[in-house]
A = this chain, B = another copy of it.
Amino acid sequence: MSNPESFRELCRKEIHTGPTSGVLPGYIQANLLILPKCVAESFEDLCTRNPVACPILSKTEGGPQFLRNHASLIKQGTFDIRTDFPRYNVYSRGKLVQQKNNCVNEWSSDHVGFLIGCSFTFEHALEKAGLVPKNVLYNKNVSMFRTTKFLDSAGIFHQCPYVVSMRPYKLTEVEIVREITRKFKKTHGEPLDWGYDGAKRLGIEDLQKPDYGDPIDIGEQEIPMFWACGVTPQLAVTTVGDRIEGSVIGHTPGHMLILDATDVDWC
């Protein structure tokens, strides 16, 4: 695990099949969505219209081993989108049907894969500033909530809700936390909203009952802060899945691709 290239090889050989939280800090981690070509344009439109929730880092061009702007993200010849994530979710008609260590059999020449930004990178920056997120401090998964805020519709993607991640901070820390995360423009950037009023605006009813991840205590001196979350695209697929013919593949949440690019390259 000394560098991203060798870590991807461990995944390809199915030696590493677990989560990537804490793996190779400072390197960008990416969410995945692989779709049939016939809906890929709709999905790309959805991402372009909603760049905060669905920030595209790259997409496959000319096969599963090639990315648009490949060289700036991953060393040539050291990447295969079908094998280099530790674990994959396979969807059919919007339903999760299988979890696997590779998607070689599901991938076809009719598929396009998208790499989507992940908030891991700004967690590392918060840590460096002494503002360690509580989920990191207590070694838990971040709390994630489905909201009542909808993405701006695109093609087949209509009525798709934002998913947000939540990290508690003191009121006096809000502006510096916003400032630090603002720089990560390709990995969700600054928070969408914050405070108990912000939770109401997002339609979140119970902060101790996340829809994904672990519950995180919010102290008396703290308020919740909400960032757009890379689970949003997978929820979009399950929302309109009955309109998609053919396999859709995502990463298993928490099981990310590690790129050769660092947060410094992409800030």
Contact = CB atoms under 8 A, between A and B. Distances in A.
A20 to B, nearest CB: 26
Interface residues of A, number: 23
The copy count of this chain in the complex is 2
Interface in A125-171: 149-150, 152-155, 158-159
A217 to B, nearest CB: 25
Contact of A52 (B49, B155, B189, B228): B49
A243 interface: no
B51 A191 contact: no
Given A49-B52, A153-B193, 8 more contacts: A48-B185, A49-B189, A51-B51, A149-B150, A150-B193, A153-B191, A153-B192, A154-B190
Contacts of A153: 190-193
Contact of A51 (B49, B155, B158, B185): B49
A124 interface: no
Contacts of A52: 49-50, 152
Contacts of A201: 150, 159
Interface of A: 45, 48-52, 149-150, 152-155, 158-159, 182, 185, 189-193, 201, 228
Contacts of A45: 182, 189
A152 B182 contact: no
A50 to B, nearest CB: 8
Nearest to A201: B150
B152 A228 contact: yes
A166 to B, nearest CB: 15
Nearest to A192: B152
A225 to B, nearest CB: 11
Contacts of A185: 48
Contacts of A182: 45, 154-155
A48 B48 CA distance: 10
Nearest to A193: B153
Contacts of A49: 51-52, 189
Contacts of A189: 45, 49, 154
Nearest to A150: B201
Nearest to A49: B52
A50 B70 CA distance: 27
Contacts of A50: 52
